[in-house]
Amino acid sequence: MRIMIDLALHAGDGLVLLRDIAARQEVSEKYLWQLIVPLKTAGLVASVRGSHGGYRLAKDPSMITLRDIICTLEGPLSVVECVQYPDACSRSETCVSRDVWTEVSEKIRDILQSLTLADMVERSRRKDSGGRNASQKD
Protein backbone atom coordinates (compact mmCIF):
# COMPACT_ATOMS: atom_id res chain seq x y z
CA MET A 1 0.00 0.00 0.00
CA ARG A 2 2.78 2.40 0.92
CA ILE A 3 4.48 2.12 -2.47
CA MET A 4 1.23 3.07 -4.19
CA ILE A 5 0.50 5.95 -1.80
CA ASP A 6 4.04 7.21 -2.33
CA LEU A 7 3.63 7.08 -6.11
CA ALA A 8 0.34 8.97 -5.80
CA LEU A 9 1.81 11.60 -3.48
CA HIS A 10 4.67 12.18 -5.93
CA ALA A 11 2.65 11.93 -9.14
CA GLY A 12 3.29 15.58 -9.93
CA ASP A 13 7.04 15.03 -9.73
CA GLY A 14 7.19 12.93 -12.88
CA LEU A 15 8.70 9.48 -12.84
CA VAL A 16 9.69 8.14 -9.43
CA LEU A 17 12.71 5.95 -8.73
CA LEU A 18 12.33 2.87 -6.54
CA ARG A 19 15.38 3.90 -4.54
CA ASP A 20 13.63 7.17 -3.66
CA ILE A 21 10.49 5.33 -2.55
CA ALA A 22 12.65 2.91 -0.55
CA ALA A 23 14.38 5.80 1.21
CA ARG A 24 11.14 7.66 1.98
CA GLN A 25 9.34 4.53 3.16
CA GLU A 26 12.35 3.08 4.97
CA VAL A 27 12.10 -0.28 3.21
CA SER A 28 14.62 -2.12 1.07
CA GLU A 29 14.74 -1.47 -2.63
CA LYS A 30 14.96 -5.24 -3.13
CA TYR A 31 11.59 -5.66 -1.41
CA LEU A 32 10.04 -2.96 -3.63
CA TRP A 33 11.31 -4.81 -6.72
CA GLN A 34 9.25 -7.79 -5.60
CA LEU A 35 6.14 -5.61 -5.32
CA ILE A 36 6.49 -3.56 -8.47
CA VAL A 37 6.33 -6.52 -10.89
CA PRO A 38 2.79 -7.66 -9.98
CA LEU A 39 1.63 -4.03 -9.77
CA LYS A 40 2.90 -3.47 -13.33
CA THR A 41 1.36 -6.74 -14.55
CA ALA A 42 -2.00 -5.72 -13.09
CA GLY A 43 -1.85 -2.39 -14.91
CA LEU A 44 -1.70 -0.31 -11.73
CA VAL A 45 1.85 0.96 -12.27
CA ALA A 46 3.66 1.93 -15.46
CA SER A 47 7.39 2.09 -15.97
CA VAL A 48 9.79 3.84 -18.29
CA ARG A 49 13.20 2.27 -18.82
CA GLY A 50 16.44 4.04 -19.30
CA SER A 51 18.55 6.66 -17.61
CA HIS A 52 15.58 8.97 -17.18
CA GLY A 53 13.19 6.16 -16.35
CA GLY A 54 11.17 5.38 -13.30
CA TYR A 55 7.66 4.52 -12.21
CA ARG A 56 4.30 6.21 -12.12
CA LEU A 57 0.72 5.22 -11.52
CA ALA A 58 -0.88 3.78 -14.64
CA LYS A 59 -4.31 5.13 -13.66
CA ASP A 60 -5.71 8.09 -11.82
CA PRO A 61 -5.60 7.43 -8.05
CA SER A 62 -9.38 7.77 -7.89
CA MET A 63 -9.65 4.74 -10.20
CA ILE A 64 -7.47 2.43 -8.09
CA THR A 65 -9.17 0.82 -5.11
CA LEU A 66 -7.43 -0.62 -2.10
CA ARG A 67 -8.98 -3.93 -3.07
CA ASP A 68 -7.22 -3.70 -6.46
CA ILE A 69 -3.88 -3.25 -4.73
CA ILE A 70 -4.31 -5.88 -2.04
CA CYS A 71 -5.74 -8.52 -4.37
CA THR A 72 -2.87 -7.90 -6.78
CA LEU A 73 -0.26 -8.41 -4.08
CA GLU A 74 -1.96 -10.88 -1.77
CA GLY A 75 -4.54 -12.73 -3.87
CA PRO A 76 -8.19 -13.26 -2.97
CA LEU A 77 -9.33 -11.71 0.29
CA SER A 78 -10.62 -14.31 2.69
CA VAL A 79 -10.10 -14.41 6.43
CA VAL A 80 -9.89 -18.19 6.43
CA GLU A 81 -9.10 -20.62 3.62
CA CYS A 82 -12.49 -22.32 3.55
CA VAL A 83 -14.26 -19.08 2.60
CA GLN A 84 -12.41 -18.92 -0.70
CA TYR A 85 -12.01 -22.68 -1.10
CA PRO A 86 -14.97 -24.53 0.44
CA ASP A 87 -13.50 -27.88 -0.62
CA ALA A 88 -10.62 -27.25 1.78
CA CYS A 89 -12.83 -28.49 4.62
CA SER A 90 -15.33 -31.32 4.64
CA ARG A 91 -17.54 -29.36 7.05
CA SER A 92 -17.84 -26.19 4.93
CA GLU A 93 -21.50 -26.66 4.04
CA THR A 94 -22.66 -27.07 7.66
CA CYS A 95 -20.12 -24.92 9.49
CA VAL A 96 -21.60 -21.92 11.26
CA SER A 97 -18.13 -20.44 11.80
CA ARG A 98 -17.54 -20.44 8.05
CA ASP A 99 -20.75 -18.46 7.60
CA VAL A 100 -19.47 -15.80 9.98
CA TRP A 101 -16.03 -15.73 8.34
CA THR A 102 -17.73 -15.38 4.96
CA GLU A 103 -19.62 -12.31 6.20
CA VAL A 104 -16.44 -10.83 7.68
CA SER A 105 -14.56 -11.43 4.43
CA GLU A 106 -17.35 -9.78 2.42
CA LYS A 107 -17.31 -6.71 4.69
CA ILE A 108 -13.55 -6.41 4.34
CA ARG A 109 -13.82 -6.67 0.55
CA ASP A 110 -16.61 -4.05 0.52
CA ILE A 111 -14.59 -1.60 2.61
CA LEU A 112 -11.46 -2.06 0.51
CA GLN A 113 -13.51 -1.67 -2.69
CA SER A 114 -15.01 1.58 -1.38
CA LEU A 115 -11.65 3.19 -0.64
CA THR A 116 -9.45 4.52 -3.43
CA LEU A 117 -5.83 5.47 -3.59
CA ALA A 118 -7.02 9.09 -3.83
CA ASP A 119 -8.81 8.60 -0.49
CA MET A 120 -5.58 7.32 1.02
CA VAL A 121 -3.64 10.31 -0.31
CA GLU A 122 -6.22 12.61 1.29
CA ARG A 123 -5.96 10.72 4.58
CA SER A 124 -2.19 10.96 4.40
CA ARG A 125 -2.35 14.69 3.85
CA ARG A 126 -4.79 15.12 6.77
CA LYS A 127 -2.37 13.27 9.04
CA ASP A 128 0.34 15.70 8.00
CA SER A 129 0.33 17.95 11.02
CA GLY A 130 3.79 19.45 10.65
CA GLY A 131 3.61 20.55 7.03
CA ARG A 132 5.36 17.43 5.76
CA ASN A 133 4.05 13.92 5.48
CA ALA A 134 6.10 11.03 6.84
CA SER A 135 6.06 9.49 3.37
CA GLN A 136 7.66 12.64 1.97
CA LYS A 137 10.80 12.50 4.13
CA ASP A 138 14.02 13.31 2.34
Q: What is the pLDDT of residues 47-80, one digit of tens each?
A: 999 888 899 999 999 999 999 999 999 988 888 8
Intervals of the chain under pLDDT 70: 129-138
DSSP conformation letters of 66-94: HHHHHHHHH-S--SSHHHH-GGG-TTTTT
Please give the pLDDT value at position 129: 56
Domains, in order of start, for the chain: 2-129 (1.10.10.10)
User: What was the pLDDT predicted at 100?
Assistant: 94
Q: What is the predicted pLDDT for the residue at 16?
A: 94
Q: What is the largest CA-CA distance in the chain?
A: 59
Question: Does residue 44 contact residue 58 with C-beta atoms inside 8 Å?
Answer: yes
pLDDT given for residue 109 in this prediction:
94
- In the prediction, which pLDDT does 133 show? 46
